[in-house]
């Protein structure tokens, strides 16, 4: 595999409903944004596309991918559609990476979208719940917030995690998004606001949960040669990893923890893993990505993380899967302020899914775009001059931020991708 660089990115502003633009036009707008930001890149240089969107039900337009590609003027170049639930965007990013890393192509556009406003929220929840076992899970009361609520109830039972700790994730992510013009929600909220908002599935309130959105995002990946030619400030894709787990939460085993390099088996004596409190796919993806990127200890070697916080609870679970803290310490990790913008390792400086929105097929690519701008030190350029969410040098780290991880997650942890990006700024 040869080195791969991200050379540009673009997004549309995510919104509850964008009835004035079809998915093709949203993708085209994100693509044009990316082209404008990398003015030496011409359409002729692009070898092909990878397109991600989660559910055919939302748009009820099969083979929608090629329609987006067509709108961008990229037919008859090769194209392929990628789908894997909530991780669709992350899988798309990695498929584009493979296109280039393998030497097959030199410049590939990863483009993703979702138009979830085409049905009402309860119908959308039904479509999403069809991404659970339709014999044994969906008919019992298929509802993803219900599934995540059960996981966090067990996490609370095992580790003493509290609802206030969950709420702090929502407060943090919304606060970061106050300074992100691309975010869907700009809410200045407190822990009390989160707890007093309507209960959706105990203990998750409406402010513990991301929303459905319309939107598109584009990431352009290239070989070293193309990157050097067309981009002054490319970002290296240092390593990628992915993992999977059984569709049904009920099937998850109760075994031993899969250890990361910096972890000690003594930490986890007696802990049954993953059960329904942890994500084996997330841990597997991290382990692989860290090995490929030579990350010895993510707490030291990563400078920020954009992770898939579809729920506040899954952000806390993911701190642990990613090794940002020990299994069981996710609640304390947020209590201690480590994932805050000025903390030890900022998590979701963009505002994450909870504040930015979650147009599924675009989400993983949105994370790539935010991480790309972070590592180019370009947040202000793309955010009307506001650099508040630009991650600064952290205490105890003798360098400015160099490396970020993006984490994309599907189902109750069925597909997870982790990609490590590194700045090339001197």
The 146-175 site mask, x for binding other proteins (CB under 8 A), equals: xx-xxx-xx--x------------------
Q: Which of 24, 81, 175, 252 binds other proteins (CB under 8 A)?
A: 252
Residues 287-316 that bind other proteins (CB under 8 A): none
Token pair in block for residue 309:
């916080």
Q: How far is the CB of 20 from other proteins (least distance, A)?
A: 5
Closest to other proteins by CB, 143 or 304: 143
Q: How far is the CB of 86 from other proteins (least distance, A)?
A: 16
Q: Which of 1, 2, 102, 136 binds other proteins (CB under 8 A)?
A: 136
Closest to other proteins by CB, 20 or 269: 20
Is 254 a residue that touches other proteins (CB under 8 A)? yes
Is 201 a residue that touches other proteins (CB under 8 A)? yes
Q: How far is the CB of 150 from other proteins (least distance, A)?
A: 5
Closest to other proteins by CB, 123 or 381: 123
Q: How far is the CB of 362 from other proteins (least distance, A)?
A: 21
Residues 263-282 that bind other proteins (CB under 8 A): 276
Q: How far is the CB of 120 from other proteins (least distance, A)?
A: 8
Q: Which stretch binds other proteins (CB under 8 A): 28-36, 116-124, 219-227, 231-239?
A: 116-124
Q: Which of 31, 54, 113, 143 binds other proteins (CB under 8 A)?
A: 143
Is 341 a residue that touches other proteins (CB under 8 A)? no
Judged by the rule CB under 8 A, the positions of this chain that interact with other proteins are 19-20, 60, 120, 122-123, 125-126, 129, 135-137, 139-143, 145-147, 149-151, 153-154, 157, 198-202, 246, 248-254, 276
């Amino acid at each position: 595999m040869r080195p791969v660089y991200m050379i540009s990115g673009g997004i549309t502003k995510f919104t509850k409903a964008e009835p004035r633009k079809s998915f093709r036009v949203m993708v085209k707008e994100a693509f044009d944004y990316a082209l404008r930001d990398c003015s030496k890149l011409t359409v002729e240089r692009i070898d092909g596309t990878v397109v991600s969107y989660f559910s055919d039900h939302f748009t009820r337009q099969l083979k929608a991918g090629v329609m987006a590609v067509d709108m961008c003027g990229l037919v008859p170049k090769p194209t392929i559609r990628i789908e894997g639930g909530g991780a669709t965007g992350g899988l798309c990013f990695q498929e584009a990476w493979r296109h280039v890393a393998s030497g097959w192509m030199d410049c590939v556009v990863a483009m993703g979208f979702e138009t979830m406003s085409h049905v009402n929220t309860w119908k959308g929840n039904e479509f999403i719940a069809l991404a659970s076992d339709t014999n044994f899970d969906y008919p019992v009361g298929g509802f993803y917030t219900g599934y995540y609520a059960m996981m966090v109830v067990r996490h609370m039972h095992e580790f003493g995690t509290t609802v206030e700790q969950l709420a702090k994730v929502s407060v943090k992510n919304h606060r970061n998004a106050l300074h992100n013009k691309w975010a869907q929600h700009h809410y200045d909220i407190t822990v009390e606001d989160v707890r007093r908002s309507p209960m959706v599935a105990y203990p998750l309130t409406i402010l513990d949960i991301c929303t459905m959105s319309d939107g598109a995002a584009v990431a352009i990946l290239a070989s070293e040669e193309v990157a050097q030619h067309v981009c002054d400030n490319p970002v290296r894709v240092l390593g990628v990893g992915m993992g999977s787990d059984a569709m049904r939460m009920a099937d998850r085993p109760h075994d031993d923890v899969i250890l990361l390099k910096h972890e000690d088996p003594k930490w986890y004596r007696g802990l049954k893993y993953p059960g329904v409190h942890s994500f084996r796919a997330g841990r597997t993806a991290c382990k692989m990505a860290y090995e490929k990127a030579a990350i010895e200890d993510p707490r030291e070697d990563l400078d920020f993380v954009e992770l898939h916080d579809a729920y506040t609870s899954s952000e806390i679970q993911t701190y642990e899967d990613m090794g940002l803290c020990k299994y069981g310490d996710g609640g304390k990790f947020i209590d201690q302020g480590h994932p805050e913008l000025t903390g030890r390792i900022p998590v979701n400086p963009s505002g994450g899914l909870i504040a930015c929105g979650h147009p599924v097929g675009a989400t993983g690519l949105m994370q790539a775009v935010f991480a790309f701008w972070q590592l180019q030190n370009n947040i202000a350029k793309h955010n009307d001059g506001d650099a508040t969410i630009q991650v600064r040098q952290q205490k105890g780290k003798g360098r400015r931020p160099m490396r970020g991880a993006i984490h994309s997650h599907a189902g109750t942890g069925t597909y997870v991708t982790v990609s490590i990006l590194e700045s090339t700024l001197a």
